[in-house]
Amino acid sequence: MKREVLITIVNFGIFVELLSAIFGSIYFYKYKGTFLKFFCVLLWYSVINDICGVLIREYVSNYNAIIYNIYHVLNFTYLILLYHHYLNNKNYKRITLILCLTYFLIFIINGFFENYIYEFQRFPYIFAAFSLLVIIVFYFIEILNSERVLNTKGNLLFWISVGLLLYFMGNLPFRILRNYYLHLTDATVYFLVNFTLTIVMNVCFIIGFIWSNKKQQY
């Protein structure tokens, strides 16, 4: 794939992320009094981080892993704690907390094997992504077994969960293949899949911001 095409795709992906952050800000009044208010901050952080990643790679150095390693720690930590906050089942909450603490431990230990500055922390990402999928399933189980299932269209957390679920269900297998079975995958295919999943995820976020009710029932 030509470099110009790759740059265009990256820029469009960042543009969609920017749109998601803008819609999150426009409809911030709907969820500003909830734990989800930090989600809008996370969206803006994602946009800024990706822009910085591109600029660093283009004009400063080929090594921009450090900013993504920091981003993933903050991103996964907030998302896991987000569901811990809204889950009602005590066992689910306990498991969620254990997964979060285990992720921190794995991230610290992995630093002895992969340099935080120059190398993307692969196994911590895979563990955190898998953990988040499990936690989202917990959330959907609770939704299906409660009256909240009647209000899914107007539930912002539901749409966020759908977006995250679709993204990581598609991203995780390719991430594992790219990390441990390089000879089986094409970098271009992984790039396009990840780009498509990013678009789908952010579209789900935007739908959630627009359709969600001001009075949320999480």
Assigned token pair, 1:
């794939």
Q: Please give the pLDDT value at position 218.
A: 57
Phi-psi region of 41 (alpha: psi -120 to 50; beta: other; left: phi over 0): alpha
Would you state the structure tokens that stand for residue 188, as one six-digit string? 């271009």
Rg (CA), the chain: 18
Closest to 21 measured CA to CA, from 47, 2, 3, 59: 47
Contact at 8 Å (CB) between 115 and 174?
A: no
Largest CA-CA distance found in the chain, in angstroms, rounded? 53
pLDDT the model gives residue 4: 72
The CATH number given to 3-211 is 1.20.1070
Q: Are 207 and 157 in contact (CB under 8 A)?
A: no
Q: Which two tokens stand for residue 31?
A: 């969820």
User: What pLDDT does residue 184 have?
Assistant: 52
Confidence at residue 187, expressed as pLDDT on a 0 to 100 scale: 64
Domain ranges of the chain: 3-211
Quickly count: other Cβ atoms within 10 Å of residue 41's Cβ: 14
State the Cα angle at 180 between 175 and 183, rounded to 5°: 100
Is residue 113 classed as helix, strand or coil in its secondary structure?
coil
What residue ranges of the chain have pLDDT lower than 70? 1-3, 178-187, 216-218
Q: Which of 198, 88, 218 shows the shortest CA–CA distance to 154?
A: 218
By C-alpha distance, which of 207, 100, 199, 195 is closest to 157?
Answer: 207
Q: According to the model, what pLDDT value does residue 117 have?
A: 83
Location of structure tokens 């269900």: 169
pTM: 0.91
Q: Tokens in use for 75?
A: 């991103």
